[in-house]
Chains A and B, each alone.
Chain A
């Protein structure tokens, strides 16, 4: 792995189903983030994690949960998907140092019917 990866690339999901989006980075970054991107609304933060073992709520956390069992992985779970969760989801990571640059994964396109 080089950088940050996400799986799946795309998914069509029936409403009410449970879904976990996967995110893995190999840059040893402490901080990780989940965003959703919707037309006209930019990137909105769902949840974040400053370091392994800790998580926090972002701007639009309802209906989503995350966990951070280790440095590399930061899965996002939709417990019971709804059509309004149709979006493109980006995972990102950043160093805890002064840099601040966020590195984004390739994204997951999720459609909830």
Chain B
């Protein structure tokens, strides 16, 4: 099955700086890569996603890049704000399973004011 590795497990940045979270996946046929944000005590919520026919996607301060050859994708948050503090999960859609996604182990991001 699909295996998704995520790094780092924790990340602290100063407010205004950029944060980068990296993930690798094992199944070269995976074609959908979402990122979820989970605030403390809340449910995970989708913040951005990318499909295998696109190399980069941006949404305001958030961007995701995908390198299919290397089988890795990254989340970039620019001009970080305290409200960006949360746990972020990457995921990859397992091509052999209908709509199933495999999640990374999460990155706890702390933005220091």
Contact = CB atoms under 8 A, between A and B. Distances in A.
A29 to B, nearest CB: 9
A43 B35 CA distance: 13
B5 to A, nearest CB: 11
B57 interface: no
Interface in B11-53: 32, 34, 42-46, 49
Interface stretch (A13-21, A64-72, A76-84, A97-105): A97-105
Nearest to B107: A42
Contacts of A102: 34, 46, 101
A106 B43 contact: yes
Given A100-B32, A104-B45, A105-B43, A42 B99 contact: no
A40 B34 CA distance: 19
B89 interface: yes
Interface residues on B, range: 20 to 34
A80 B81 CA distance: 45
Nearest to B43: A104
Interface in A30-44: 31, 33, 35, 40-44
A100 B93 contact: yes
B104 A42 contact: yes
Interface in B92-113: 93, 97-106
Nearest to A31: B99
Nearest to A91: B43
Nearest to B105: A42
Interface of A: 31, 33, 35, 40-45, 48, 50, 56, 58-59, 90, 94, 96, 100-102, 104-107
Interface of B: 1, 6, 9, 32, 34, 42-46, 49, 89, 93, 97-106
29 contacts: A31-B98, A31-B99, A40-B105, A42-B6, A42-B89, A42-B106, A43-B89, A43-B103, A44-B103, A45-B100, A45-B102, A48-B99, A48-B100, A50-B98, A58-B100, A59-B102, A96-B99, A100-B32, A100-B49, A100-B93, A100-B101, A101-B34, A102-B46, A102-B101, A104-B43, A104-B44, A105-B43, A106-B42, A107-B43
